[in-house]
Structure 1
Amino acid sequence: MLNDVKKLIRRVVEVQSRLERLFACGEVMDVDPATHCVKLVLRGYDNVQTDWLPVLTSRAVDVKVYALPTIGEQCWALFLPFSGMEKGLVLGATFNRQDTTPTSNAAQTWIQFEDGTHFYYDQAQHHCELNMPAGTLVVTAPETTINSNVTINGNTQINGNTNMDGTLDATGNIHSDADISDATRAMSDDRGIYNAHDHDKNVPPPSNQQ
């Protein structure tokens, strides 16, 4: 009888220990980009190293969301209760004193990258911003519509047709491989009008052609 009680106590202690390790925080020690998996080292559990753990994502079929934590990032994982702490699922990362939040404004939603590129929307101010310190931004679509006035503080290269219903302010050069026209006529028509002007005879250009 006493032996049975001791076995039961040991079993309860073992189950309790496993349940305590069901949910644990670890540090990413390796990543597998092809499978969207990471390995964790569990500092609070004698530095146990896990097997490859899949990282939870919101969508994986048809619509795919891909974002791996980086090496050294703090993540929380859920482990199978009776298979040790080598097998489980990474639920996500958390901020801490070293890896702080990119903003202290609760009205803002942020995505920030290691090179300093960041995108955020402030729903209180109705302000959306994409900031890239370096690199190239490419938008590819059959058609793009911008329903606002546009300000461009650099040079502009236009390789296709562009229709604008608002105002375009540019502080740099504008180059187009196609014709540029307004509500009256195209620039090529203007060139035809003014190139026909005879400078030698000081004949003024037509002023009433539409």
Structure 2
Amino acid sequence: MSTPLRIAIITGSTRDGRFGPTVADWIRRQAAERPELELDLIDLVETPLPTTFPAFGQSLPEADAELLAAVKPRIAAADAFIVVTPEYNHSFPAPLKNAIDWHNAEWHAKPVGFVSYGGISGGLRAVEQLRLVFAELHAVGIRETVSFASAWEKFDAEGEAVDPAAATAAKSMLDQLTWWALALKEAKAIRPYGS
């Protein structure tokens, strides 16, 4: 592969005191070991998006357009995504849904891997709902998922996962994500998606 695959890692939680950056940094380090991947970490705290959509046919206010312009090209440039999400009330955080909804064609025919964390369920209920949302946006959800139940107990003080099985799960997910990213990128080079 001559050109690296561009992978956007999206940190979906914006809550004060969030654990998400620990998990996102960990998966970023796992992915960084692969020379065929180029990574872009999109933290929704650092790249806030508007929360009010304009009426159909109306333009965004300039300040909102500037916020969107800081994120949209990065989503569009990605060949694949890794979504890092906690579970809130059996679902995923509202800021993550907001970020998804501001984009449409940018998700089309691209694979999405999931890294979830939380209490006893490890965020898996959030992932199941995200699969439905991304399917509607013509994205391909990756079967293998990385999940951390009782996540706060699963990382050491340096942010490393204490269970070796986590790295094994990450490898499986990244293998599938890379395969799908390359396959879809090659397919779109021959025939644009949707034609």
TM-score, normalised by the number of residues in structure 1: 0.18
Larger RCO (alpha carbons 8 Å, 6+ apart)? 2
Higher Cα Rg: structure 1 or 2? Answer: 1
Greater fraction strand: 1
